[in-house]
Structure 1
Amino acid sequence: MKKSTAIRELLFAAAGLLIGLISALTPASADQDRAGVFDFYVLSLSWSPTFCAGDDGERNGQQCGLDKHFRFVVHGLWPQYEKGSPDFCRTSEPERVPRGLGQTMFDIMPSMSLVGHEWRRHGSCSGLDQKAYFDTVRRAFEHVAIPADLARGDRPLSLSPNDIENKFIAANPGMTHQGIAASCGGQRLEEIRICMTKDLQFRDCAEVDRSGCRIGQITLPAAR
């Protein structure tokens, strides 16, 4: 009797541990990453010459061919939580972006692989259909004034992350240091990340701001 009672207690304990483990691994993420459930956007503007100077850029003729001279391009428009971010959300929209739609974005998102990846990972969490999402991407990009001296790209520039952020803030009323972050790869500028409300107004975002580059000087390579 004592032996059977002990066995039952062990089975109940094992079942409880299994249920707890399943609950920890699945429901939270399933509940969290629902399309349309997020707090704000991050518009990520990539400095194309930095990307093109790397191994991935050398393999990307659409963005980095000898006849291409992109400067700031859209890496993505990312739905965010105040802490963390959703990705790869379930949606009734297809995973594949039709080439006809993707091509309309090539002036600011210059490759089909980028357009497709950004839709699957981030756009699917926006709660928008594909066309509405990419229309929102374009409106977000057009809402940001790129400082003229940074946009030229005719020669390398070496600036502090703070200097770069100050130039964007000066060109964009309503933007603050708490709502923008310069991201670097090694000594080069990779991206400018700008926080926006769902209606694309500038806003602060502590987590994104803290993720910015902290080295003294970063370089903007010249466009080819």
Structure 2
Amino acid sequence: MRWLALLAALATLGSAPALGQAYQCRMPERLGPVAPPKRGRDDVRRVTPVTGYTLALSWSPEHCKGREDRPGEALQCSRNFGEFGFVLHGLWPEEGTAAYPQYCARTPVQVPPSVVRKTLCAMPSQRLIAHQWDKHGACMARDPESYFRTATKVYRAIQLPEMERLSRAALTHGMLRREIARINPGMPTDAVTVRSNARGWLQEVRICLGRDYRPRACPAYVRQPRGDTPLKVWRGL
């Protein structure tokens, strides 16, 4: 089964972008520095046992709608540096309840530029890379390189559907969940959650994983709309 081989694959997969996720990726030769993120009053440090993970994949065309000309979104949305489908939002540690671990390091740490560059084709936002390490990654790994190496390899191991075709169908939340499970042998349908905005447009797909990174049924506290809820997909046209 594909998922039985995933753990071994994590140790051997390369760093080239997967075509199913990044249609094109051509990041600039030079990147500006990004300081460690500033934590707000509500960003509470919470160190709890890790019982599983959530892989969050954002649908880039929807995120970029109306943001194409924003300087802070240029890497992902301007189309000057790539065209993206599903991008890595994050690999998040879970505790089994809504009280998941977060901000485990006492102070924010800067992600090395070399790690940022290796990650950008999967997560095309320097600010998001900094935030994901500070909020989630420090609860899972000793250093940013280990965290992002694992996160990107899990992301690239996921098979994703051909969204151009699905976007033209009368799609529902349940249909997308079933299609993702179908093309990933061994993945249960209830391991997949789909998030849409208030207008019914696809925003994100999340995959619930055990500590061994194998898909598992999502915890009871994870809620989502009924399977027959209509779902629209913006293709970025």
Structure number with larger C-alpha Rg: 1
User: 2:55 is matched with which residue: 29, 43, 47?
Assistant: 43
User: How many angstroms apart in 1 are the aligned matches of 2:136 and 2:50?
Assistant: 11
Aligned-pair distance for 1:157? 5.6
Correspondence 1:161 to 2:176: no
Higher helix share: 1
Tell me what 2:21 maps to: none
SS in 2 for 1:212: coil
Residues 178 and 206 of structure 1 are in contact (CA less than 8 Å); yes or no, is this contact kept in structure 2? no
Residues 67 and 73 of structure 2 are in contact (CA less than 8 Å); yes or no, is this contact kept in structure 1? no
SS in 1 for 2:147: helix
Provide runs of 4+ in structure 1 moved above 6 Å.
none
User: How many angstroms apart in 2 are the aligned matches of 1:175 and 1:54?
Assistant: 34
Residue 130 of structure 1 aligns with an amino acid whose one-letter code is: P
Tell me what 1:172 maps to: 184
Aligned-pair distance for 1:198? 2.4
SS in 2 for 1:220: coil
Tell me what 2:119 maps to: 105
Q: How does 1:19-168 map to 2 (within 5 A)?
A: 33-34=47-48, 37-54=49-66, 58=70, 59-67=72-80, 68-84=82-98, 85-90=100-105, 95-147=109-161, 149-150=162-163, 152=164, 158-168=170-180
Say if 1:103 and 1:154 are closer, same or farther in 2 by CA, change over 3 A.
farther
Tell me what 1:204 maps to: 217
CA deviation profile, 1:152-190 (whole Å, cap 9, x unmatched): 489666510000001101011121122110011121111
Percent identity, aligned pairs only? 28
User: How many angstroms apart in 2 are the aligned matches of 1:57 and 1:169?
Assistant: 35
User: How many angstroms apart in 1 are the aligned matches of 2:185 and 2:51?
Assistant: 22
Q: Greater CA deviation, 171-180 or 48-57?
A: 48-57
User: 1:185 is matched with which residue: 175, 197, 221?
Assistant: 197
Say if 1:107 and 1:195 are closer, same or farther in 2 by CA, change over 3 A.
same
Tell me what 2:235 maps to: 222
Aligned-pair distance for 1:73? 0.4
Residues 183 and 190 of structure 1 are in contact (CA less than 8 Å); yes or no, is this contact kept in structure 2? yes
SS in 2 for 1:193: strand
CA deviation profile, 1:110-157 (whole Å, cap 9, x unmatched): 11111111111111111332111111101211221111x22x489666
Tell me what 1:24 maps to: none
Give the CA RMSD over aligned residues.
Answer: 2.5
Residues 207 and 215 of structure 2 are in contact (CA less than 8 Å); yes or no, is this contact kept in structure 1? yes
Q: Greater CA deviation, 197-206 or 80-89?
A: 197-206
Runs of 5+ unmatched residues, structure 2: 1-43
Residues 82 and 205 of structure 1 are in contact (CA less than 8 Å); yes or no, is this contact kept in structure 2? no
Runs of 5+ unmatched residues, structure 1: 1-28
Say if 1:157 and 1:110 are closer, same or farther in 2 by CA, change over 3 A.
farther
Number of residues paired by the alignment? 189
